Amino acid sequence: MTSILILNGPNLNMLGKREPDIYGATTLPRIEAACSAHAEARGVLLSFQQSNHEGTLIDAIQAAPENHQGIILNAGAYTHTSVALRDAIASVDIPVVELHLSNIHARESFRHHSMIAPVVVGQICGFGAAGYILAIDAMIASLNESMA
Ligand code: CA2
């Protein structure tokens, strides 16, 4: 069965605890539960990982192809800064969907640039927690397309 890793970066463990006006009131465990229900209906397996550490995220990306066919990545603030994360994504031969809760293009200018955008299949942003569900469907569509 197709398996997808949902990887969340720095501070996303704080969802629902601070800044609900920007990131919503839902917690990460609740988002993960909604993703699991959706994945079951779509017939795919999900794994979840969150880390505040750049190197741990890189380790997870490098290891993902052993067990997963795709990665959904909310890299948090590392999106805007990390050449290392970009290099890790470019080094794996499975698709990565970039995801953000907020519309990074409508926020501060330092969030407009994504270091990882050139090496991902596509970017979903601005739809809040629903973006995780959209990203699962986008990943399934992308995997189906590549097999057609
Ligand atoms: O919109 C997104 O999903 C972001 O990836 C979230 C990052 C931000 O640096 C990116 O520019 C866009 C920040 C995640 C912080 O999450 C928090 C959640 C609740 C309370 C505090 C931080």
pLDDT, tens digit, for every residue of 122-145? 999 999 999 999 999 999 999 999
Residue 97 has pLDDT above 90, yes or no: yes
Residue 101: per-residue pLDDT:
97
Per the annotation, the verdict on 100 as an active-site residue is yes
DSSP, collapsed to helix, strand or coil, labels residue 131 as helix
Which pLDDT value is given to residue 76?
98
- Per residue in 6-40, pLDDT (tens digit) is 999 999 999 999 888 888 899 999 999 999 999 99
pLDDT for the residue 148: 80
* Interval 69-81 mean pLDDT: 98
Q: Measured between alpha carbons, how far is 18 from 25 in angstroms, rounded to an integer?
A: 8
| Catalytic residue (choose from 38, 53, 68, 100) | 100
**H-helix segments, the chain:** 20-23, 28-42, 54-67, 83-91, 130-147
Tokens, residue 82: 């990390």
Nearest to 6 by CA among 136, 106, 102: 136
Q: Which atom of ligand 1 is nearest to the CA of 19?
A: 20
Task: With CA atoms as reference, report the closest residue to 65 among 38, 86, 96, 39.
Answer: 96
- Distance (angstroms) between ligand 1 centre and the Cα of 4 equals 22
Token pair for 127: 């739809």
Domains and CATH numbers, the chain: 3-147 (3.40.50.9100)
- C-alpha 1 – ligand 1 centre gap (Å): 31
Nearest residue (CA) to ligand 1, atom 7: 76
